[in-house]
Chain A
């Protein structure tokens, strides 16, 4: 009976003030969509880092006039270096073969480049790709070395773009969340005001505090959860129409976003939406329903 009472109070509360309820749900949904998107982005960047950093290499390009002794010396030095997992020497011929393969669909380019124009190099895999700078410092001044290039640098530019998008999503999620919180607080105040007579009687006859507050808190939680469901729907649509639709080429190039990752966002969004609304409602009631 008490549960039924509380639930019917929640429904009545949401209906009584339906425009405010809708506004609350919409802002909550937009905020949670942004939050979900940035969460997705965060997991995605992580997955990409895992996928790419495994194969990442530091390329040490050698001077054209490097001597075989210098090459051998560098080879044994690299192999002795504890930071290096694997060092592979690539001769001019091997470099040319790879070049041919890489640009197989542009034969003009392949024809224009002669085999001996490509530099000899070492392809170095590091134990920890973050320690590129130490490798660079150790070898940059050595005789016979032309240039040292870290593939990580190139990837990091992509990651920093993704990071910026993620920060933007988080910032707009925060701004929308503040709006949502104020709307929750306002809705609860209005609800508490419109039920002030009931609340006064309940206090007078000794209804417990949770019983007085539960309908209001649940009202906010229901709105928060509805917002999370709508926000999750927006994420699903985004996955179908954007990631698998118009941005298909881009997502194929990078790591594709899995459905499982998208679904992982729902409990996250619902949890944040529900808890934040409940917290706001509870704090608001502290001020408006003094015992």
Chain B
């Protein structure tokens, strides 16, 4: 499919066609402005392609009615470079918030949230505010929030972009563990170390086109 942003001289993604199987772990790599992040936005239906279709979980997202989008997004978890946590809420409340706004009761949150915080390695730090946590710990909270609904797909947009190499590797171990539970992980990055260590499928994008799609690949 093709996506051109208004006022852009060339398409952000030009006739790109990718198929990702359930349970895969995929890296999208490429220089800044190559169109990697647009992939995430398309998968979330934050933007729609000008040509072609985006199909997620057998559902055509492109033609999806706008009122169905919220429900669709519940099957996708999302992690970003800048964590996007609510600063006035604790780690526990940040994760619980994601549950409560989609209609889960407080009782469900009380049962599920400690579990998932334990899973990401934040047991004992539930009641810390984001500014009391390190960058790596904040990203763990973000991962917990993305994963608490047990999504089918986890999208990660440069999740290690703000973290030092050691912390990055810890986050990657976490994503890898989540992937082993059957969750498809799609990660956009330009962190060559990580890609080289993980040895997973690598799709390289340059100027909006796929230039490489390699199983167990390394960073260019």
Contact = CB atoms under 8 A, between A and B. Distances in A.
Contact of A207 (B44, B84, B87, B102): B102
B73 A203 contact: yes
A205 B154 CA distance: 12
A205 B86 contact: no
A212 B70 CA distance: 11
Contact of A206 (B66, B70, B86, B100): B70
B70 A207 contact: yes
B71 interface: yes
Q: Which of B70, B71, B74 has the most CB of A within 10 A?
A: B70
Interface stretch (A50-58, A101-109, A194-202, A261-269): A194-202
B72 A206 contact: yes
Chain A interface size band reads 10 to 19
Given A201-B98, A204-B78, A209 B73 contact: no
Interface in A197-237: 197-198, 200-209, 211-212
A201 B102 contact: no
A212 B101 CA distance: 8
A205 B149 CA distance: 9
Q: Which of B86, B101, B103, B149 has the most CB of A within 10 A?
A: B101
A5 B74 CA distance: 20
A197 B100 CA distance: 16
A291 B69 contact: yes
A291 B67 CA distance: 9
A201 B86 contact: yes
A212 B87 CA distance: 19
Give the interface SS of chain A, mostly helix, strand, loop or mixed: helix
A271 B3 CA distance: 46
B86 A211 contact: no
B71 to A, nearest CB: 6
B153 to A, nearest CB: 12
Contacts of B86: 197-198, 201
Contact of B73 (A2, A205, A211): A205
Chain B interface size band reads 20 to 34
Interface string B93-127: 00001101111011000000000000000000000
Contacts of B87: 197
Contact of A204 (B71, B84, B105): B84
Given A1-B105, A5-B100, A291-B69, A205 B84 contact: no
A211 B101 contact: yes
Contacts of A2: 100, 103
A7 to B, nearest CB: 14
A1 B100 contact: yes
A205 B74 contact: yes
A206 B71 contact: yes
Interface string A153-189: 0000000000000000000000000000000000000
Contacts of B98: 201, 205
B102 A205 contact: yes
B71 A197 contact: no
Q: Which of A5, A201, A202, A291 has the most CB of B within 10 A?
A: A201
A198 B145 CA distance: 13
Contacts of B67: 209
B3 to A, nearest CB: 17
Given A198-B86, A206-B70, 11 more contacts: A1-B100, A1-B105, A197-B87, A201-B101, A202-B101, A204-B78, A204-B84, A208-B71, A208-B103, A209-B66, A291-B70
Interface of B: 44, 66-67, 69-74, 76, 78, 84, 86-87, 97-98, 100-103, 105-106, 145, 149
5 contacts: A5-B100, A205-B74, A205-B101, A207-B70, A291-B66
